Amino acid sequence: MKRSTINAIMAEADEFIRTFGFVLPPFAYWTPEQMRTNREAAAALIAGRMGWDITDYGQGRYDEMGLFLFTLRNGRLADLQRGGGMCYAEKLLISKQDQLSPMHRHYLKAEDIINRGGASLAVELYGSAPDGAFDPQAGGRVICDGIARDYAPGEVLMLAPGESVTLMPCDWHAFWGEGGDVLIGEVSTVNDDETDNWFRDPIGRFAAIDEDEAPTHLLVSDYGTWLA
């Protein structure tokens, strides 16, 4: 993805989020130089990879297959492993109309996917084989706003604003905006996008960046190089 495109998506996403009365935290608006200056005080933010995350899954077709994410808070894997402390994470996502977030599941993370506003959120579901692999014949059960719901293989849930689904690591899922763009909330256990995504097809999690202009704000995938 071109850095100029990423900068434009950031500005558009910030405006979209504000239409729902939600404002991103102050660090969202730091310049790269401010991130460098504050990197010691922001060590937890950087280690938790909180911040901007825009991906085309390495496919070069962001409008068709892509996702905007902003990690608002993220816990510590060590706390999760010992069973106490900051074991949770929270994100905001934007799924544009017909923009696919491709079929995947997680090894560790359970998550609530919440339609915070906009159009309907379509969530396609499959269960797992005994070894966790994708199984086109497997269905399963999820919780939708506290109510158990069985799903058939490939069933698509349509979540209206205010509705949510709880996904466990065994639940393969893909999603997109149906009829328009959707603001999505994600509340989950500790998030690690570098290791905790298992895609059905051989694709990447992060975008390769063409630095055609300077970044407005850093992506979480920039931290390792820009803040070294």
Q: What are the tens digits of pLDDT across the range 96-136?
A: 999 999 999 999 999 999 999 999 999 999 999 999 999 99
pTM, two decimals, is: 0.96
pLDDT at 228 over 90: no
Q: Confidence band (pLDDT; 50, 70, 90) for 204?
A: confident
The pLDDT of residue 122: 98
Nearest to 109 by CA among 173, 27, 189: 189
Distance CA 118, CA 97 (A): 10
pLDDT at 89 over 90: yes
Structurally, how many domains does the chain consist of?
1
Q: In this structure, what CATH number is given to the domain that contains residue 33?
A: 2.60.120.10
118-122, 193-197, 199-203: which range is least confident on average? 193-197
H/E run at residue 224: helix 223-226
Share of the chain above pLDDT 90, in %: 94
Q: Which domain range does residue 77 map to?
A: 3-226
